[in-house]
Amino acid sequence: VNCLRLACAPAVNRRFQVKQTLVEPRLADEHASWSEQGLTEVPKLAHDLHEYETALIPHGLHVVGEPVSADARADMIETARDAMVEAGIDLDAPDQADVLTRLDENLAKDHELPALLHALDGGYIRPVSGGDIVRSPDVVPTGRNIHGFDPFRLPSAFAVQDGTQQAERLLKRLIADNGTMPKTVAMVLWGTDNLKSEGAPIAQALALIGAKPRFDSFGRLAGADLLPLEELGRARVDVVMTLSGIFRDLLPLQTKLLAEASLAAALADHEPLEQNPIRAHALAYAAEHGCDVETAALRVFSNADGAYGANVNLLIDSGAWDNEDELAEAFTARKGFAYGVNGKPVRQSAMLHSILKDVDAAYQNVESVELGVTSIDQYFDTLGGISRAIKKAGGKDAGVYVSDQTSGKGKVRTLGEQVALESRTRALNPKFYEPLLDNGFEGVRAIESHVTNTLGWSATTGQVAPWVYQNLAETFVLDPDMRRRMAELNPKSSAKLAGRLIEARDRAFWQPDDETWDALCAATEELEDRVEGIAVGEAA
Ligand code: BEZ
Ligand code: MG
């Protein structure tokens, strides 16, 4: 405990400041008496602190026409330098020597409004491939046309190699947590993530199944081949994939590819069933339902043609739900369309229900520093939604995981760990929320979104620790100065944020003590009065 206080007392570094609060977001139990356990607990604490210190967070919102500030540029360049060093790039090599200088110059000047005006004048805008600034500094300057990708070359050879490593990393964590190799994994796939990474998440799905893309003699994607079990070196994993509507629209070839990999595994009749759960599950389902193996091997699910999202986020936003099962039902109603090898969607609710019952763990990649799982409502809509649907299907108590691809070699965390990390380094971190408050009205709305999305994770997974709500309440509602600042910038979002904390308590996601609760209710009333235009007393 002394070690914790010592390490946390001053602001730890530029990226992560520890804020004094009534109940700290505890990294360790205050009354822990470590003896032998200390040998593992203290290094774990040191490791956690390091992770928080080095977590990457965005500097407020992007404002069109405003170049990046000197401070923010310094952070970005340091981060890009670290990423290059980690990737083994020689910064002194002739073709690399001025990459960071150019990055700095390109970020320091606004290229967007001039480009927009030029385009409106009918001028030509140079194209550039899109991507992540840290991983590919060449994507700046912004204000250019982002050109597409070659759909015939996804997943790339690099993605296949990387996807294999990420799949093994996931399996290692699942084995460590559960003691056994998972048989069935649910994976959420998004379109933009695959564009940014040459199809790395698609490659992960293939690697888990034990398959690889097949290319024709022109190098064009032509299908999926199974890796022989001897080459794979482990059992296959039955992967149930839910695609975002954007993935389905952008990547029809890859949608068929994934269906083909599952079908090929289900048809591998020479393989022992304990090494091939896809075939084992498909045969059992076909026998029970009297259907063909093609139907029993359907593993790629998405929305109906032309529909997007699971609507779980809409339910959370409106607060119009009583029971968590309603969230699960929204998910399966929306995402219950199977895409087979012909690429055509067919409603297959029974198949989805049956496969969800078998799921050992659900996961999704996080591909961008800009957007964490608590930044936007689509993460809990998709990954949260499927987690709730798994629970409703009545299967095992499946774990929920996030594979963080934003730095280094990637890191697998439980959803609870990811929300704790993001809460500490983002929503509760002045380095994160002060730049948002500088953004004014829209910044306050972004902070409110973090709180609403946090509630979305509680509702869908139950994995948010109560201290998160306690600290959100203390930081944004119970502190009179902060409450006034936020209410002046955006009264509606401030009242909504406070209302979410009340809702979280009503839904038993946290149990504030009486003092906190009374203060929260009084503050919320004050914020609501402000929205309704009722004069707020001098003290406020
Ligand atoms: C996608 O790229 O598939 C996606 C992006 C944002 C929200 C939901 C899906
Ligand atoms: Mg929305």
Residues 6+ apart with CB under 8 A from 512: 469, 470, 473, 505, 520
**Distance of CA 59 to CAs 63, 112, 376, 485, 488, Å?**
11, 18, 16, 19, 22
d(Cα 252, Cα 198) in Å, to the nearest integer? 15
Is the pLDDT score of 7 beyond 60?
no
pLDDT at 5: 27
> What DSSP string runs through 177-221?
HHSS--SEEEEEE-HHHHHHTTSHHHHHHHHHHTEEEEE-TTS-E
Residue 189 Cα to ligand 1 midpoint, Å, equals 9
Is the pLDDT score of 536 beyond 70?
no
Confidence of residue 32 (pLDDT cuts 50, 70, 90): low
pLDDT at 6: 26
pLDDT at 12: 29
Per-residue pLDDT, averaged over 53-78, amounts to 89
H or E element that contains 110: none
H or E element that contains 473: helix 466-473
Q: Which stretch of 8-12, 120-124, 532-536 has the lowest confidence by average pLDDT?
A: 8-12
d(Cα 28, Cα 41) in Å, to the nearest integer? 9
Q: Looking at the CA of 314, which ligand is closest? A: 2
Residue 305 Cα to ligand 2 midpoint, Å, equals 20
pLDDT at 23: 44
Is the pLDDT score of 310 beyond 60?
yes
**Which residues, judged by CB distance below 6 Å to any ligand atom, belong to the binding site of ligand 1?**
190-192, 244, 246-247, 378
pLDDT at 20: 36
What are the tens digits of pLDDT across the range 121-155? 999 998 888 777 877 788 899 899 887 778 899 99
Residue listed under structure tokens 């022989």: 228
d(Cα 459, Cα 392) in Å, to the nearest integer? 13
Rg of the chain taking only CA atoms, in angstroms: 24
Out of 378, 380, 405, 453, give the residue to mutate to test ligand 1, the one with the largest number of ligand atoms within 8 Å of its CB: 378
Higher pLDDT, 331 or 17: 331
Q: Looking at the CA of 303, which ligand is closest? A: 1
pLDDT at 338: 98
Nearest Cα to 80, choosing from 63, 104, 60?
Answer: 104
Out of 188, 244, 334, give the residue to mutate to test ligand 1, the one with the largest number of ligand atoms within 8 Å of its CB: 244
Per-residue pLDDT, averaged over 301-314, amounts to 97
Is the pLDDT score of 449 beyond 70?
yes
Q: Looking at the CA of 378, which ligand is closest? A: 1
pLDDT at 2: 26
Residue 370 Cα to ligand 2 midpoint, Å, equals 17
pLDDT at 374: 98
- The token pair at 66 is 């405003």
Q: Which stretch of 157-161, 301-305, 437-441 has the lowest confidence by average pLDDT?
A: 157-161
Is the pLDDT score of 52 beyond 80?
yes
Is the pLDDT score of 517 beyond 80?
yes
Residue 96 Cα to ligand 2 midpoint, Å, equals 40
Q: Looking at the CA of 381, which ligand is closest? A: 1
Share of the chain above pLDDT 90, in %: 74
The overall average pLDDT reported for the chain is 90
The strand pair at 411-414 and 399-404 is best described as: antiparallel
pLDDT at 31: 66
Per-residue pLDDT, averaged over 47-68, amounts to 88
Residue 312 Cα to ligand 2 midpoint, Å, equals 11
pLDDT at 83: 82
pLDDT at 15: 38
Nearest Cα to 379, choosing from 439, 316, 325?
Answer: 316
Confidence of residue 9 (pLDDT cuts 50, 70, 90): very low
Residue 377 Cα to ligand 2 midpoint, Å, equals 6
Residue 310 Cα to ligand 2 midpoint, Å, equals 11
Q: Looking at the CA of 309, which ligand is closest? A: 1
Residue 246 Cα to ligand 1 midpoint, Å, equals 6
Per-residue pLDDT, averaged over 508-535, amounts to 94
Angle at 226 (CA atoms; ends 173, 292), nearest 5 degrees: 100
Per-residue pLDDT, averaged over 187-204, amounts to 93
Per-residue pLDDT, averaged over 471-495, amounts to 98
Out of 195, 246, 335, give the residue to mutate to test ligand 1, the one with the largest number of ligand atoms within 8 Å of its CB: 246
What are the tens digits of pLDDT across the range 318-377? 999 999 999 999 999 999 999 999 999 999 998 999 999 999 999 999 988 889 999 999
What are the tens digits of pLDDT across the range 88-103? 889 999 888 899 999 9
For residue 420, how far is the Cα from the chain centroid?
13
Share of the chain above pLDDT 70, in %: 92
Is the pLDDT score of 538 beyond 70?
no
What are the tens digits of pLDDT across the range 375-427? 999 999 999 999 999 999 987 889 999 999 987 788 999 999 999 999 999 99
What are the tens digits of pLDDT across the range 252-294? 999 999 999 999 999 999 999 999 999 999 999 999 999 999 9
Q: In ligand 1, which atom is closest to the CA atom of 245?
A: 3
Per-residue pLDDT, averaged over 239-251, amounts to 97
